[in-house]
Amino acid sequence: MSPYRSGRRDSAWKPPGVDAVERSWRSPLRGPWLTAVYGSVLLIALPLVIITGLLDYAAYGPRFDQAFPTHVGWLRLPTFDWPTRPSWLFRVTQGLHVTLGIVLIPVVLGKLWSVIPKLFAWPPARSPAQVLERLTLLLLVGGILFQIATGVLNIQYAYLFGFDFYTAHFFGAWVFTGAFVAHVIIKFPRLVTALRSRPLSAELRTPPAATRPEPPDPDGLVAADPGPATLSRRGAVGLVGGGALLLGALTIGQSLDGPLRHTALLLPRGRQPGPGPNGFPVNRTVAAAGVRPEQTGAGWRLTLHGGGRTVTLDRPGLLAMAQHTAALPIACVEGWSTRQTWTGVRLRDLAALAGVADPASARVSSLEQAGLFRTAVLASNQVLDPDSLLALRVNGVDLSPDHGYPARVIVPALPGVHCTKWVAEIDFQERTDG
């Protein structure tokens, strides 16, 4: 008789090695309480990451088909005009999304450590319910690790995965969110019971020598044959919390200005690209954009379209117009941001000059020939904000080539990639609704 057949008849049959694996889980710390502590941190923080992620998608302007991926079917959320106030809005949503996402990595790893014996539990499933639930767990674990991996690689510009980041990170987020919601609904009662089983304050005062395993639990998280504790639960929580603090301390700098920026020691945006007023990060160099010096020299012209009219301006002409100065952050989807003082012509003045004082939208095009962001559409509120500029200068000097000389867009709370550099044309659209 084959072991397989005897296994079907006799539920006590196990493949060789199962008992050895079960005995090899020695940590006395594993148990519902510790899992619930890590779980409750994720339960509170992950929704923030999910919501800020969706907000960042909204900030890209899905209404103008410029949020990627563009075709999302039923996952299309109600569109709204991304506000220009407060001007630090995108800086905060995107900074929170990236920083919190990174800070949670040790918590995710700790949570996975606490439940990993269940992956090897025998039998793999006792009922159809368990089969389906384990499938959602693959979506949950694969989902969170996929989101972490793609996100972490994206902010470091290492596109090892060879697929489109936006598509993968957007749809990956939905797969994860679905599994996350299901997991929370199913496990929430367990989480509450587990947290109540041991008071946090008492647990945080227990030293390793007094640390005992939790009583056996229905989920089988507690080791069958636990060894002596080498770490208290306080230590385990502290270890994960310390890891989170370490990552936070090395990441938050990319959202800060001043000397604290350098604390992002291992990230591209902790570094100051050169000295002087133009010494702040760029997202695309002039060389990478393929914009040649002869295009931006004295022969450069800005072309405005609107209402059948075309206006052409050179740089001295723009400098002769009313200049406005605003201190505005520029924030990128990679989570970094910086506040600088920009000077230039108000976009609404240019709209009026083009004969469309109250435009429905404006399409800004760059001298760049290729690239996903060579054009960007600004909504009406983004054109009309008094701080929305076609900037010619920054921090009191001309823009550097990398920052978009001769002219670039800067709009409050607009994602950095839509603050088009090396602007060649602005096409103001009239309202059609009268």
Partner 1 sequence: MAERLHARYGAAPWHLVVVTAAIVLAGWVALRLADEATFGRMLLWFVGAAIAHDLVLFPVYASTDRVLRALVRGRVTLLNHLRFPALGTALLFVVYSPGILRLGETTHEAATGQDQRPYLPRWLLLSATLFLLSGVTYLLRRRRQVSAQRSDSA
Query: Interaction with partner 1 in 113-142: which residues (CB under 8 A)?
Result: 113, 116, 119, 126-130, 132-133, 135-136, 138-139, 141-142
The 10 Å Cβ neighbour count of residue 48 is 15
User: Cβ(208)–Cβ(230) under 8 Å?
Assistant: yes
Min separation Cβ 431 and partner 1, Å? 34
**Residues 281-300 within binding reach of partner 1 (CB under 8 A):** 281-285, 287-288
**Residues 312-341 within binding reach of partner 1 (CB under 8 A):** none
Residues 94-113: x where in contact with partner 1 by CB under 8 A, - otherwise, as a string: --------x--xx--x--xx
Rule CB under 8 A: say whether 4 interacts with partner 1.
no
The 10 Å Cβ neighbour count of residue 144 is 23
User: Cβ(267)–Cβ(156) under 8 Å?
Assistant: yes
Distance set, CA 8 to CA 17, 126, 128, 317 (Å): 18, 12, 16, 85
Binding partner 1 by CB under 8 A: which of 13, 64, 88, 171? 171
Query: Whose CA is closest to 54, among 81, 31, 77, 87?
Result: 77
**Residues 16-75 within binding reach of partner 1 (CB under 8 A):** 73-74
Rule CB under 8 A: say whether 168 interacts with partner 1.
yes
Query: Whose CA is closest to 420, among 349, 360, 347?
Result: 347
**Residues 341-400 within binding reach of partner 1 (CB under 8 A):** none
Binding partner 1 by CB under 8 A: which of 45, 182, 195, 319? 182
Rounded Cα gap, residues 82 and 429, in angstroms = 18
Query: Whose Cβ is closer to partner 1: residue 363's or residue 374's?
Result: 374
Min separation Cβ 154 and partner 1, Å? 10
Rounded Cα gap, residues 95 and 57, in angstroms = 14
Q: Say if strands 302-306 and 423-429 run parallel, antiparallel, or are unpaired.
A: parallel
The β-bridge partners of 375 are: 365
User: Cβ(156)–Cβ(185) under 8 Å?
Assistant: no
Query: Whose Cβ is closer to partner 1: residue 167's or residue 325's?
Result: 167
**Residues 231-270 within binding reach of partner 1 (CB under 8 A):** 231, 235, 239, 242-243, 246-247, 250, 265-269
Binding partner 1 by CB under 8 A: which of 150, 254, 255, 382? 150
Rule CB under 8 A: say whether 174 interacts with partner 1.
yes
Query: Whose Cβ is closer to partner 1: residue 83's or residue 243's?
Result: 243
Query: Whose Cβ is closer to partner 1: residue 177's or residue 343's?
Result: 177
Query: Whose Cβ is closer to partner 1: residue 172's or residue 406's?
Result: 172
User: Cβ(262)–Cβ(247) under 8 Å?
Assistant: no
Rounded Cα gap, residues 366 and 21, in angstroms = 61
Does residue 69 have a cis bond before it (omega within 30 degrees)?
A: yes
Residue whose entry in the numeric block shows the structure tokens 């509450």:
192
Query: Whose Cβ is closer to partner 1: residue 139's or residue 345's?
Result: 139
**Measured on CA atoms in the order 255, 333, 346, 381, is the torsion positive or negative?**
negative
Min separation Cβ 358 and partner 1, Å? 37
Binding segment toward partner 1, per CB under 8 A, in 87-95, 179-187, 362-370, 424-432 = 179-187
Query: Whose Cβ is closer to partner 1: residue 327's or residue 372's?
Result: 372
Distance of CA 34 to the CA centre of its chain: 27
